[in-house]
Structure 1
Amino acid sequence: MANRPRTRSRSAPKPQTSRWRRILKWTVAIGLTTAVMAALALVIAVYTARSSLPSFDTLKSSPNGQMIRVHAADGTVIVSLGPSYGEWIPYSQIPSAMREAMVAVEDRRFYSHIGVDPVGIARGLQVSFQRDKRVAGVSTITQQLARNVFLTSNRSYGRKVREGILALAIERKFTKDQILELYLNKAYFGGGAYGIDAASRKFFGHPATNLTLPEAAIIAGLVKAPSNYSPTADAAAAVDRGRVVLRLMQQQGVPGASEVGPDDVRAVKLAPEPMQNSVRYFTDWALPQLEMLIDETVEPLEVWTTLDLSMQRSADAAIRANTPGGAQGALVALDRGGEVRAMVGGKDYVASIYNRATQATRQPGSAFKLFVYLAALEAGRKPDDQVVDEPVTIEGWSPRNSSRRFSGTIDLRTAFAYSINTIAAKLGLEVGFGTVADMAKRFGITTPINTQPSMVLGTSDVRLIDMTRAFASISQKGVAVTPYGITRVTANNQVIYQHQVDTSRVLISPQVAAQMTDLLQTAVNTGTARAAQIGRPVAGKTGTTSSNKDGWFLGFSSGITTGVWMGRDDAKAIPGLQGGTAPARAFAAFMRKAVANRPVEQFDTEVTLPDWQLEPDDEAYYGNADAGAFVDADGNPVPPEQQQSDAPRGDDDVPPPPNTGDPNAEQQRLDEEWLDRVTGRAPPRDARDARDLPPQRRPDGPRDPAFRQLPPGQRDQDAPRPNQ
């Protein structure tokens, strides 16, 4: 009996120990069962994913996104949009330095793991609990390939699980060499470049097969953060990152890495970034038209355009060199069929992508008189018809000429050449202002046109490309010209679009077009547009709006039609800007090079210069360029007191001679002082100045009758009159 208590005390703990053992056994059993089931589920998931993976050849031929490469007329690639893919580089042709650099920086245990790296996963889980519960860590190259090809970059636990399953499946289906080949040809390296060949060509200017070890180190370093390390974004950061990769390669004993120093990476020459300047004005205008031309949205596209790179460079230089400070300039050049050979929408695309050639709407000034005279010629008027330049009032509107004077009886050719406003107003009234508006619409003006009397002086806003199109239709003898920039589009070497030029639409008769060309070439030869002369036949017209806000010149020669506009985006006045100055000079600078290799072409009618134009003094009687409309932005007349101070005095502003009522008493002063103002010359201040003048211009020298051009009513009957 004495031993029983001791016996009970020894056996008391047994039931509790057995219970914990049973719990442990059940826990282990459940854990093992769960692990086995999880492993079985993982194996099933991996092999299911493996069976659904595309073949190696399929993955090689499936780019991620649509690439568009745009070619100039000569085939040169001028811009690549969307993802850029280079040539596919087989594993055997990938430089070993490139393979080693990528493995060193992205996945040093690449050749030993099964697709996922447990060390990397553990590190990622640790960081995820420290930083906003986001999964972080170093993915293996296989995981990155799975994400790049099959998944999104969304950060979540679910995506990481799917990524791991796909990585295991990829490792079961492809060899390590195939995985690395796929990765290096598909990874994104920044700057729109996918694959090492695209990256090598973009950043170093040569194929990936020629990569050196320092270049390979730079490219390998881009994968971590393409937007930050890309040489196009930060060249210094890209080089510094390349030095980090080189150090890792050296630490891992990569052959040849020890022979390369940090200075060798710093010495790598990066290919210059292509100038995204004026050519982008053209591509920004042309490429949106693809949506209307083709239905292909997946396959890579090759887009062939009309752009002539030589002309584009000349156009860019002409606008930059001639546009006044603080102003913007634009230029469009069309070939016979409407091919856009050059397009400049501003002085600097990087500073402003706004395309003033196709988007801006501005008043054209006297350039709009093209449609006024076209309507008159179609109604039966002839260039030699006599008209009277005199005061006129139409519905309360009284246009004035920029010269502040009236010339009396002149012919239509002269009125157009010197942009006489009163004659344009009379012609508009004669044919009907609605008829003029219809003529403008017929020739391709797409903006609204008012039918107030002042519309004949160009008070309706228009686009430069539309005005250029109208002049091009005149150059083509009245056949409609439609500007276009895309000639053909190919996908997988198959033509899916081919442009066809339509020459079936006739706007006016060839006779009217020839008469209009007669007037236009007179304006260049003897009138407001003499600055546009290039040593071969040119036909064109100037335009200047009130207060020198806009300057235009549009003309054609040897099959090329070019329009130039200059002005400020805020429409403020620009002192000295007239169509016959900077715009005409830009036209001439461009056209001399644009038509240099084209044969000289004569117009149907030739302008014979009058005798007084053939004298040693080559300045015309009427002066230089068209000043504009003398109307405000709403088409209302500018008061005379404002015309003197605010409205422009154009190059053709020839002040009328003083009218004293006594022609005999004023004859000598008219012959000398007024003539000097007409020709733009200052009167001689002393005998030395007088001796420098030609004999017929000296105060005491003989007078040439050709220089005695007096206003109507005071002209000498023996003096020759302008006869354009």
Structure 2
Amino acid sequence: MRFLKYLILTLVVLTVLGVGAVAGLYWYVKDELPSVETLRDVRFQTPMQVYSADGRLISQFGEQRRIPLTLDEIPQQMIDAILATEDSRFYSHRGIDPIGVMRAFRVLVTTGEIREGASTITMQLARNFFLTRERAWMRKIKEAFIALHIEQLLTKDEILELYLNKLELGHRAFGVGAAAQVYYGRDIHELTLAEIATLAGMPQGPSILNPISNPQASVQRRRIVLLRMLDEGYINRAEYDAAFNAPVTARYHTAEIEVSAPYLAEMVRLSMIERFGVDEAYNGGYRVFTTVNSEQQLAAQRALRENLHAYDERHGYRGPERRLWGMDLQRLSTIETFGAQHPADEETLEIIRRHRGQAWPQAEIVAYLNRQPRIAQLQPAVVLAVHEQSVDVITRVGETITLPWDQLDWARAYVDAERQGRAPQTAGEILRVGDHILLRPYDDAWRLAQIPGPGSAIVALRPQDGAVEAVVGGYSFNLNQFNRATQAKRQVGSTIKPFIYAHALERNFTLATLVNDAPITQWNPGSGSAWRPRNSPEVYDGPIRLREGLARSKNVVSVRLIRELGVNETADYLANFGFMNDEIPRNESLSLGSASFTPMEMARAFAVFANGGHLVDPYFIERIEDSDGNIVFQAEPRYACVECELEAFRKEHGEDAVPDRAFRPAPQVISEQVAYLVTEALNSAVWGGGSWAHNTGWNGTGWRAQSLRNRNLAGKTGTTNDVRDAWFAGYTSGISAVTWVGFDNLEFALGRSTLNANLGRQRQPIVGSEAGGTTALPGWILFMETALQHVESNPFELPSNMVSVRIDQPTGRLTNRTDHTSMFEYFIRGTEPTEFAEQNGRGRQVFEDEEGLFR
């Protein structure tokens, strides 16, 4: 009895001491314990995702990849694997597992080492949210107390759901949903038992147990998980045996980007950081839906690249990226570099030295090619053999392919921007064995290529509200992140002229007004020199109607107009189109395009003509959703036609439907009538005028756009001095699109090309000086071939207060003739001519005033 009394007393004392110790420890650390109330409203760090208007993923930003899932969205087999491996008694303990603690204590006593942590899922959750992985007793004590708090606050299912979404599983994957995508590129419901067991085995060591970094260790850990599942009765022997020997199928999967639009993605990223700050933008789980249509975006990207390659091919081949072997032995300390943007790495130089100018083994060639940067769709290759009119090359995947002569024959030597070498006759004149070259896909084959020299940009807006339909800021974002669509202010050349003509039409000029197309010489006493603006080409036609002057881009006509209108008055008028007033030159050179604007600014300005005179604000984010799908931002653009938007809304949602946002009107900056008249003249820039049958026909500078076979197109070319910038700005009722081409280095001109004898006119249709109509317009046409399938292209509606009368083409006066010498012209009511041309067609004598203006 005495022994029993002492035993009970000892147990009581030990219990009191234990409780006291626990209470003391709690008192000691309680001020350092975080509040677990935050778990009630936890927000996982989820990356920002950017989508096209039609819901295709464009990009993803964020340090962590996570796909939050509810517990019922996670397969039961994944839950079973985690429970069997990490905490088989999870649903029976209260945050601390006494059996696990005793087991860990026994191991400590018998071995003298801490081999088991006895951490439950709740304790791991506490550590993952509030603590570190530091192996220390105090961290373990805090972990236990936090776990007890969590168990009081949350249900078991809530704890397990948080745990499965918080797990760090290597390669920036957090949570089982993201891990399924990162390692297997599939939804978690599509994983096999072996793949589930692989993920379930990683929480204890995500860096050393993941199947990419350490496949052998991953397989051993997977087998332990499967055995635990078998012991717990979650799987049967047949399932165990099948998964036990399953091969490793994991490989790194990036986010499934469906539409490559890196320049747009960067615009969104900067906008989101400005709106939310860096951390919140990257990790707040926002889904950003842009205004960009995916098909038009891809079409713009293809058009820009194809157009630049066409330019580059007609100017000649600058040689291979590098020459890897077959060199003079005295040059082994360096590497022959031709068109490369990136210097050779030390490993490459070492291989060259080791082989002393001899051919490399195939394995080293493939390894070298896989180290090369990825630029657009260009693929690196190395020449293995050169034949009479073909070459054999090896690609980065180890495939040997033959390039036929018709994919090589364009590559005459580049001399400079103005000159090209003679057309090659054999492949040996172009390439040598050991050359590192670039290929590009071309008509289901591979074609010799090079990184294009100039830069380019394409921007397309919806004229009705300014929504960006497509934006490409360069050939490759990986090559150069400078966004020429929004950041490059370049001289606009003759694309400025429609705005000057609009000013003239506001001042009661008409499309039939005659202006003298004759040379101008203006002496400047201050500089002791003369300013002689010239037409390009230098052809002068005397008195010419404004319609034809704009369509044929007559420089001296534009100069005479700005003199008549006044430089300052014209500059002030141009500000109506959204141009910054302080960026508009206040001299006569403005009439020839000395102002510098971005392609985005030009697309916005031309949209004024397309929408009937309203200035819309470009925008590229339609809406932003938070991680729960709630809309936190909805664009509220201004519309050129509010009634049109309301009508479309009611047609889609019903006559009694009430819009959830106001349709705000865009400001009217020019009259609807002037916008229509400018569009008429710019339509002539595409389709020309006169009668070819009677030798009076003429082409506008945008005549190549006739290939689109769309009578409702309007547009204007632009070329600057020395051809440093080439533009085309064009539109229909449903889209305003601008293409620009030029070198980033302002010292470089686009130059000219001669005919390549190997190609002929059919394969090289553009020969001679580069210009807006030959350099920028072809890219615009390639884009519009797709864009016109997705946008409205209706005839522009004739505004009120307009009249159409038959005029005599040579004089611009009224006529009763109905032959090729006459045409119907549009006028704002009250500005139409009142005098008839003489019956002989010459009209009365035209007198020139001081400014050279004919009336």
Shorter-normalised TM range: 0.5 to 0.7
Gaps of at least 5 residues in structure 1 are 1-30, 125-135, 612-724
Contact kept, 8 Å, 1:50 with 1:170, in 2: the verdict is no
SS of the residue aligned with 2:717? strand
Contact kept, 8 Å, 1:85 with 1:193, in 2: the verdict is yes
| C-alpha displacement of 1:473 | 1.0
Amino acid at match of 2:743: R
Select the residue among 518, 525, 540 that pairs with 1:406.
540
Gaps of at least 5 residues in structure 2 are 1-13, 109-115, 312-451, 525-529, 639-663, 688-698, 753-769, 799-803, 810-855
Deviations 1:538-564 (A, max 9, x none): 101111223332221111024111111
Q: Which residue is equivalent to 1:531?
A: 704
SS of the residue aligned with 1:439? helix
| C-alpha displacement of 1:531 | 2.0
Amino acid at match of 1:535: R
Instruction: Say if 2:300 is the partner of 1:315.
Output: yes
Distance 1:209 1:253, change over 3 A: closer
Instruction: Say if 2:524 is the partner of 1:362.
Output: no
Amino acid at match of 2:704: A
Q: Which residue is equivalent to 2:819?
A: none
- TM-score between both structures, scaled by the size of structure 2: 0.57
Contact kept, 8 Å, 2:57 with 2:258, in 1: the verdict is no
Aligned equivalents of 2:160 and 2:248: distance in 1? 24
Distance 1:50 1:74, change over 3 A: same
SS of the residue aligned with 2:665? coil
Deviations 1:445-488 (A, max 9, x none): 24722223223222232111110000011101111121112233
Distance 1:45 1:93, change over 3 A: farther
Q: Which residue is equivalent to 1:563?
A: 738
**RMSD of aligned C-alpha atoms?**
4.5
Aligned equivalents of 1:279 and 1:121: distance in 2? 57
Q: Which residue is equivalent to 1:595?
A: 788
Instruction: Say if 2:213 is the partner of 1:237.
Output: yes
Instruction: Say if 2:574 is the partner of 1:440.
Output: yes
Q: Which residue is equivalent to 1:710?
A: none
Contact kept, 8 Å, 1:360 with 1:463, in 2: the verdict is yes
Instruction: Say if 2:750 is the partner of 1:574.
Output: yes
Distance 1:382 1:209, change over 3 A: same
Aligned equivalents of 2:552 and 2:534: distance in 1? 13
Contact kept, 8 Å, 1:123 with 1:137, in 2: the verdict is no
Q: Which residue is equivalent to 1:265?
A: 248
The structure with the largest helix share of the pair is 1
Q: Which residue is equivalent to 1:39?
A: 22
Q: Which residue is equivalent to 1:23?
A: none
Q: Which residue is equivalent to 2:225?
A: 249
**195-204 or 560-569, larger mean C-alpha shift:** 195-204
Aligned equivalents of 1:118 and 1:437: distance in 2? 86
Contact kept, 8 Å, 1:424 with 1:456, in 2: the verdict is yes
Amino acid at match of 1:114: I
Q: Which residue is equivalent to 1:452?
A: 587
Aligned equivalents of 1:419 and 1:229: distance in 2? 69
Task: Report the identity percentage.
Answer: 33
Aligned equivalents of 2:107 and 2:734: distance in 1? 70
Output aligned runs, 1:460-609, within 5 Å: 460-491=595-626, 492-498=628-634, 499-501=636-638, 502-525=664-687, 526-533=699-706, 534-536=708-710, 537-571=712-746, 572-576=748-752, 577-598=770-791, 600-603=793-796
Deviations 1:484-533 (A, max 9, x none): 12233444554444324243411111121112112211112231112223
**430-439 or 62-71, larger mean C-alpha shift:** 62-71
Aligned equivalents of 1:191 and 1:469: distance in 2? 43
Distance 1:40 1:521, change over 3 A: same
Aligned equivalents of 1:34 and 1:328: distance in 2? 78
Select the residue among 406, 419, 424 that pairs with 2:553.
419
Q: Which residue is equivalent to 2:77?
A: 96
Amino acid at match of 1:508: I
SS of the residue aligned with 2:491? coil
Deviations 1:418-462 (A, max 9, x none): 222222222222222223332332211247222232232222321
Contact kept, 8 Å, 2:259 with 2:298, in 1: the verdict is no
Aligned equivalents of 2:135 and 2:722: distance in 1? 60
Contact kept, 8 Å, 1:518 with 1:607, in 2: the verdict is no
Contact kept, 8 Å, 1:101 with 1:216, in 2: the verdict is no
Output aligned runs, 1:120-269, within 5 Å: 142-151=122-131, 162-163=142-143, 165-167=145-147, 169-170=149-150, 179-189=159-169, 193-201=173-181, 203-220=183-200, 236-237=212-213, 242-249=218-225, 256-260=239-243, 264-266=247-249, 268=250
Which protein shows a greater Rg?
1
Contact kept, 8 Å, 1:328 with 1:568, in 2: the verdict is yes
Distance 1:118 1:485, change over 3 A: farther
Instruction: Say if 2:261 is the partner of 1:279.
Output: yes
Distance 1:188 1:419, change over 3 A: farther
Amino acid at match of 1:237: S
Aligned equivalents of 2:80 and 2:681: distance in 1? 70
Contact kept, 8 Å, 2:533 with 2:555, in 1: the verdict is yes
SS of the residue aligned with 2:81? helix
Deviations 1:618-663 (A, max 9, x none): xxxxxxxxxxxxxxxxxxxxxxxxxxxxxxxxxxxxxxxxxxxxxx
**209-218 or 151-160, larger mean C-alpha shift:** 151-160
- TM-score between both structures, scaled by the size of structure 1: 0.66
Q: Which residue is equivalent to 2:658?
A: none
SS of the residue aligned with 1:332? strand
SS of the residue aligned with 1:456? helix
Deviations 1:377-436 (A, max 9, x none): 222222222122222234442212221343322222222222222222222222222233
Instruction: Say if 2:288 is the partner of 1:303.
Output: yes
Contact kept, 8 Å, 2:511 with 2:547, in 1: the verdict is yes
Distance 1:500 1:407, change over 3 A: closer
Contact kept, 8 Å, 2:56 with 2:258, in 1: the verdict is no
**597-606 or 151-160, larger mean C-alpha shift:** 151-160
Q: Which residue is equivalent to 2:499?
A: 371
| C-alpha displacement of 1:245 | 3.4
| C-alpha displacement of 1:64 | 2.7
Distance 1:377 1:151, change over 3 A: farther
SS of the residue aligned with 1:528? coil
Amino acid at match of 1:541: K
Contact kept, 8 Å, 1:539 with 1:556, in 2: the verdict is yes
SS of the residue aligned with 1:330? strand
Q: Which residue is equivalent to 2:847?
A: none
Aligned equivalents of 1:199 and 1:212: distance in 2? 14
Contact kept, 8 Å, 1:308 with 1:342, in 2: the verdict is yes
